[in-house]
Amino acid sequence: MTGSLIIAGLGPGDDRLVTPEVVSALAEATDVVGYIPYVARVAPRAGLTLHPSDNRVELDRARAALAMAADGRRVVVVSSGDPGVFAMASAVFEALEGREDWQALDIRVLPGITAMLAAAAAVGAPLGHDFCCINLSDNLKPWEMIETRLRLAARADLAMAFYNPRSASRPEGFARTLEVLREECGSDRLVTFARAVSTPDERIATITLGEATPEMADMRTVVIVGNSATRRVGRWVYSPRRAG
For the CB of residue 71, give the shortest distance to ligand SAH in the complex, in Å.
27
For the CB of residue 124, give the shortest distance to ligand SAH in the complex, in Å.
16
Edge-to-edge strands, sheet with 106-110: 49-53, 31-35, 74-79, 4-9, 106-110
Among all residues, whose Cβ is closest to ligand SAH?
81
Nearer to ligand SAH, 3 or 6 (CB): 6
Nearer to ligand SAH, 35 or 102 (CB): 35
For the CB of residue 57, give the shortest distance to ligand SAH in the complex, in Å.
16
Nearer to ligand SAH, 4 or 80 (CB): 80
As a dihedral over the C-alpha atoms of residue 194, residue 186, residue 173, residue 119, rounded to 10 degrees, the angle is 10
For the CB of residue 219, give the shortest distance to ligand SAH in the complex, in Å.
4
Residues within the interface to ligand SAH (CB under 6 A):
12-13, 79-82, 85-87, 114-115, 119, 163-165, 194-199, 219-222
Nearer to ligand SAH, 167 or 228 (CB): 167
Give the ranges where 2-128 is alpha helix by DSSP (H): 20-28, 36-39, 58-70, 88-96, 100-103, 115-123
Query: What residue type is assigned to position 61 of the chain?
Result: R
Task: Provide the b/e sequence for 133-160 (b: ≥16 CB within 10 Å).
Answer: bbbbbbeeeeeeebbebbeebbeebbbb
The Cα–Cα gap between 212 and 135 comes to: 19
Nearer to ligand SAH, 87 or 216 (CB): 87
For the CB of residue 206, give the shortest distance to ligand SAH in the complex, in Å.
14
